[in-house]
Amino acid sequence: MEYKKKIRSALVSVYDKTGLEPILKLLHSNGVELISTGGTHQFILSLGLPALTVESLTGYPSILDGRVKTLHPAVFGGILARREDTNHKDQLSKYDIREIDLVIVDLYPFAKTVETTSDEAEIIEKIDIGGISLIRGAAKNFEDVLIIPSVEDYPTLKRILSEQDGETTLEQRRRQAARAFAVSSGYDTDIFNWFNRVEGLNELRVKGSNGATLRYGENPHQSGIFFGDLNEIATQLHGKELSYNNLLDIDAALSLINDLDQTSVAIIKHNNACGVATRENLTEAWDAALAGDPVSAFGGVIICNKPVDEATAAHINQLFFEVIVAPDYEKNSLELLKSKKNRIILQLKSFDLGKWQYRSLLNGVLAQTKNDRKESSDNLKCVTEKTPTESEIKDLLFANRLVKHARSNAIVLVKDQQMIGSGVGQTSRVDAVKQAIEKAERFGFDLNGAVLASDAFFPFGDSVEIASAAGITSFIQPGGSVRDVDSIEMCNKKGVSMVFTGTRHFRH
């Protein structure tokens, strides 16, 4: 079998002509016969290059408003014929079909059209049929044909034409076949997901393109790749490359800060908040957030929901941290934060983190809608003799927003819009309570008048008994235990208040 193939003819059918001119000129200089359609053919002629039309091969004009141009045996026969098969060669000769050695396609921009319009008719017309068929056909016959399925593959073709005199190897053709099916499957995924936003079929299609290889995964002995475009969410202004663990913490930070309405700062460590506070200005919010756990904050990820001013930057700069994320930075504050060369500084853009989240496990994938529930005072049901004060309700709602983002079993303590203690990732709820109290007391917080949020119901009254003895005066939890009465009666006995939300916030 002949593994090297000389490109003698090329079918060119592209939507976006960007970067095409030098490719066409290289093809012409290599003596390659050009075949093209519609606007591409006119573009080639405008460069003073010769080209055949697809219509001259098929004997049919483009019909149905351009919906049918290349779908014809005279085209696909020339692409799919096996060159070493004498029967195929005989059929090509019998029907006067040219062999096509190279196919260059750039598909209709379906995804971009969806982003820019809601006009269904316009979106439907951007579903490419001929182009996707050309890609699949050429990729299937990679032993004889080279497929260039996207503008992104032009550099590969340039090297083949410039450095190899238009001669391709089997390895190159096979690799481009893989690229072709990556392009076609991603394109089909975009189309399916657009249809399925309405139809709601229990089918999962996720597209991951242009994966960025990370230094390593969660640990140095693990490999890591990020599939996505972080530039859609933030601009990196300074620092080293983001790591696998940085990305996990940034995701956790964004999810948390999106639930806070006032001027706030959060410090994230291992996907959990170790400090969060809301204040009148950002400097005060930072100072209060750091005070929540100044030990764990070391090496963490900081996120602010307001632009970072110089005064705040001066305070933040005293701490060693990995990443800071904010919507903007004043000039002087940015220069100050850049004083450490490896420190990662991200400027947030307007972004949408999507409705669904996924987790791979066993031999499949779990999918669920994101936990976007945010309780307000209207959702609170007081179940005790004592009712919470107005300031306690404010703190209860704040604590409930925070505990939703902590690993279960989770307890969060709040006082004056500041997280002063947390117990996270515990196998028993009472241990989470003890951990939160111990942590708050270790950093010198007065728990008298503080409130407690639990991500799930209290199965017994012991958590209330321990927390109220430490000074906690009000509790917020979903309720729903068959023994809710135990915790309610303990509250009444201790003279403290409790409200139910009716919504559990597990996070595993």
List Cβ neighbours of 226 (8 Å cut-off, separation of 6 or more). Answer: 211, 212, 214, 242, 244, 247
**CA–CA gap between residue 247 and residue 232 (Å, rounded):** 14
270 is catalytic: yes
Whether the per-residue pLDDT at 477 is higher than 90: the answer is yes
140 is catalytic: yes
**CA–CA gap between residue 459 and residue 67 (Å, rounded):** 64
Q: Which of 6, 140, 315, 386 is catalytic?
A: 140
Closest CA to 273 of 284, 263, 259: 259
Which range, 192-201, 206-215, 267-276, is most confident? 267-276
How far is Cα of residue 238 from the mean position of the Cα atoms in its chain? 21
Q: Are 209 and 227 in contact (CB under 8 A)?
A: yes
**CA–CA gap between residue 284 and residue 451 (Å, rounded):** 21
Task: Express each pLDDT in 302-322 by its tens digit.
Answer: 999 999 999 999 999 999 999
Of the candidate ranges 162-166, 404-408, 428-432, 463-467, the one whose mean pLDDT is the lowest: 162-166
How far is Cα of residue 149 from the mean position of the Cα atoms in its chain? 24
With pLDDT > 70 as the criterion, what percentage of the chain qualifies? 100
Whether the per-residue pLDDT at 68 is higher than 80: the answer is no
pLDDT of residue 1: 46
pLDDT of residue 96: 85
Mean pLDDT of the 183-199 span: 91
Whether the per-residue pLDDT at 369 is higher than 80: the answer is yes
Mean pLDDT of the 250-279 span: 96
Mean pLDDT of the 419-436 span: 96
Sheet of 497-500, strand order: 381-382, 497-500, 474-477, 451-454, 411-414, 419-423
Residue 483 three-state SS: coil
pLDDT of residue 59: 74
Q: Label residue 181 by pLDDT band (50, 70, 90).
A: very high
Q: Are 348 and 326 in contact (CB under 8 A)?
A: yes
Residue 404 three-state SS: coil
Buried b (16+ CB within 10 A) or exposed e, 164-202: eebebeeebbeebbebbebbbebbebbbbbbeeeeeeee
Residue 257: CB atoms within 10 A of its CB come to 22
pLDDT of residue 2: 54
Task: Express each pLDDT in 148-159 by its tens digit.
Answer: 999 999 999 999
Mean pLDDT of the 329-353 span: 92
pLDDT of residue 91: 85
pLDDT of residue 63: 74
Whether the per-residue pLDDT at 349 is higher than 70: the answer is yes
Q: Which of 17, 89, 207, 270 is catalytic?
A: 270
